[in-house]
Structure 1
Amino acid sequence: MKIGFLGFGEVASNLSRGLVDHEVDVYTCVEGRSSRTRENAEKIGVNLCSTNMEVAEISDITISAVVPSRAVEVAEEVSNHCRGIYVDMNNVSPETVKQALGFIKKGRVVDASLMGSIIKNGLNVPIAASGPCAGEFAELNHYGMNIDVVGTDTGQASALKMLRSIYTKGVSALIFEAFSTAHKMGVDEELMKYLQKTECPGFKDAAVSRIINSTYHAQRKSDEMEEVLQFLREYTEPVMTHATSAFFKMISKKIDLTEKPEDYRDIFQELK
């Protein structure tokens, strides 16, 4: 089995690590990426190709895991070179997924969406999949993946991802706003204490993780929320989601982190 990744960020690197452990041949292209990305790929044991087209030509399954703004561009780039199944695993709207997959000439495509944390779950992260070849893609469950086929139409899996994002990113924005205000007032530890009494077990760790990730990945989340808005406007007036999108856009402009801080309070210091 040969699996290729277009893009080698957080999603691709974590899935690759698990697949290599299951003796799958993994391929990617890191041309134009940082030396750190190349070193990470080599350390994991990923085979490096010179172009994305080469990745698509070699792979039985090609997985696109790029930033949302490049989903369509990358699909078009490899459209004539994909010999196997093409999987769009980008955090984009159903319409964007359909546009991207429309470039794949043979039509052997899958709409796939991560439905959990890739950092916490690694290869076992829940993945919703739909489209003509979703069942074939789900055969990777034999190699340690956790793929659930939710339908045969492209757009179904990405719609579920969009709806999940409305909730998860909205909660993250509210937590950030509440604790940044509490920190300015010197009562953030007290707020955490009281919320731990009323919220679910593990609330403190989850809240701290949301604050840090909201900042570290603010630009990516801002791009993703634009896709969510595009999707949601077809069905309703996205009042709350619009506010969440504005929040991530604001954070991406105010704070630029090169690495994740260990203490969430360092982030609030940057906002002063």
Structure 2
Amino acid sequence: MTSKLTVGILHPGSMGAAVAACARPNAERVLWCPKGRSTATVARAEEVGLEPVGGLNELLDQADIVLSLCPPAAAEELARTVAEHRFAGVFVEANAINPERTKRIAALLDGSARAVVDGAVIGSPPIGGKGTRLYLSGPLAAVSLLEELFADSPVKTPVLGSDVGQASALKLSYSSYQKASRVLAAIAFGAARAHGVDAALLDVASKREGSYLVETGYIAKTAARAWRWGPEMDEAADMLSADGLPDELLRAAAQTLARWESSKDLAGLTPDEALDRLAER
């Protein structure tokens, strides 16, 4: 970049705050809006050094690049608000939504935003030595700004192409396997536990390299993340349906995850407690 740019992050959760923080060395400022956000979000943003502003309009007026990382259901409404403000910079749609929704968001911002870039965050939050990948697709000049913004940071920025929708498709293609597999593992272990053969199932699974069935600790993590993963499975199912592919498996995964809605972010949940909640009707 010939000069440092100001970045705004919309609704930073654990991933969004960590990704935005990785832009700080190459950015002039990294802004966020604490109005209406939870105390946990405020603490998270302060911890990684994001700069608070008084309101969303102030953020949009000052930012050259805006990163949108929010729950899938809120993505279009948030983009509509940004479009109504006539935001003139680069808008990065980095939510776990299907390609058609990403294209609708690009159309919403057409005529005001400099460009819309499709982004897919895959990996753990880039903190504590961990790295993540922000896959990018869209207008190449705008994509290049993102590559420079995260250069030499824990956020790697592979470029998929110039078409908005490619990054979204990659995100949901990956999520549909990874997260549905975790749901299937939990169901399998729950069935085995109900019949007193869970130890035998672990023994069988341990003989197969890389089986999710041996990672019983992840059952509780899946339950705690179900409030986010369920909507992702619905987004992935919508993508499959639009492509003429069967969507029933992912719809079922979303319905299964919905049984864990009351387990949102319960860090102390045990696998047995998670399975008990899964079996509740």
Q: 1:89 aligns with which of 91, 94, 104?
A: 94
Matched residues, number: 267
Contact conserved, 1:183 with 1:265, CA < 8 A, in 2?
Answer: no
Cα separation, partners in 2 of 1:61 and 1:121, compared to 1, 3 Å: farther
Cα separation, partners in 2 of 1:131 and 1:258, compared to 1, 3 Å: closer
Contact conserved, 2:118 with 2:168, CA < 8 A, in 1?
Answer: yes
- Establish whether residue 130 from structure 1 lines up as the match of residue 130 from structure 2: no
For 2:38, give the aligned amino acid: S
CA distance in 2, matches of 1:2, 1:224: 30
Pairwise CA distance, 1:202 = 8.8
Cα distance per residue 1:113-166 (max 9 Å; x no partner): 112233788773122110112232222231412011101010111011121122
- Establish whether residue 116 from structure 1 lines up as the match of residue 123 from structure 2: yes
Cα separation, partners in 2 of 1:220 and 1:75, compared to 1, 3 Å: same
CA distance in 1, matches of 2:106, 2:54: 23
Cα separation, partners in 2 of 1:102 and 1:197, compared to 1, 3 Å: same
Q: Residue 233 of structure 1 corresponds to which residue in structure 2?
A: 241
Q: 1:163 aligns with which of 143, 158, 173?
A: 173
- Establish whether residue 194 from structure 1 lines up as the match of residue 204 from structure 2: yes
Cα separation, partners in 2 of 1:3 and 1:186, compared to 1, 3 Å: farther
Q: Residue 150 of structure 1 corresponds to which residue in structure 2?
A: 160
Secondary structure (helix, strand or coil) at the match of 1:126 reads strand
- Deviation larger for 184-193 or 224-233: 184-193
Cα distance per residue 1:229-270 (max 9 Å; x no partner): 211112222232232222223333xx4345222532232233
Q: 1:78 aligns with which of 78, 82, 86?
A: 82
Contact conserved, 1:53 with 1:81, CA < 8 A, in 2?
Answer: no
Q: 2:226 aligns with which of 218, 221, 230?
A: 218
CA distance in 2, matches of 1:123, 1:142: 16
Q: 1:269 aligns with which of 258, 264, 276?
A: 276
Cα separation, partners in 2 of 1:139 and 1:180, compared to 1, 3 Å: same
Pairwise CA distance, 1:15 = 1.4
CA distance in 1, matches of 2:161, 2:31: 28
Q: Residue 267 of structure 2 corresponds to which residue in structure 1?
A: 260
Q: 2:108 aligns with which of 103, 109, 114?
A: 103
CA distance in 1, matches of 2:76, 2:114: 15
CA distance in 2, matches of 1:122, 1:161: 23
CA distance in 2, matches of 1:121, 1:229: 33
Q: 1:183 aligns with which of 193, 196, 212?
A: 193
Structure 2 segments unaligned to the other structure (5+ residues) = none
For 2:115, give the aligned amino acid: R
Cα distance per residue 1:25-54 (max 9 Å; x no partner): 321112112122112211221111122232
Q: Residue 30 of structure 1 corresponds to which residue in structure 2?
A: 34
Q: Residue 50 of structure 2 corresponds to which residue in structure 1?
A: 46
Cα separation, partners in 2 of 1:121 and 1:38, compared to 1, 3 Å: closer
CA distance in 2, matches of 1:244, 1:123: 28
Cα distance per residue 1:37-96 (max 9 Å; x no partner): 112211221111122232222222210001111111111112235342110000001111
CA distance in 2, matches of 1:49, 1:217: 29
Cα separation, partners in 2 of 1:50 and 1:190, compared to 1, 3 Å: farther
Secondary structure (helix, strand or coil) at the match of 1:118 reads coil
Cα separation, partners in 2 of 1:51 and 1:189, compared to 1, 3 Å: farther
Say which structure is richer in helix: 1
CA RMSD between the two structures: 2.5
Cα separation, partners in 2 of 1:166 and 1:257, compared to 1, 3 Å: closer
Structure 1 segments unaligned to the other structure (5+ residues) = none
CA distance in 1, matches of 2:264, 2:168: 29
> What percent identity do the matched residue pairs reach?
26
For 1:245, give the aligned amino acid: A
CA distance in 1, matches of 2:213, 2:126: 18
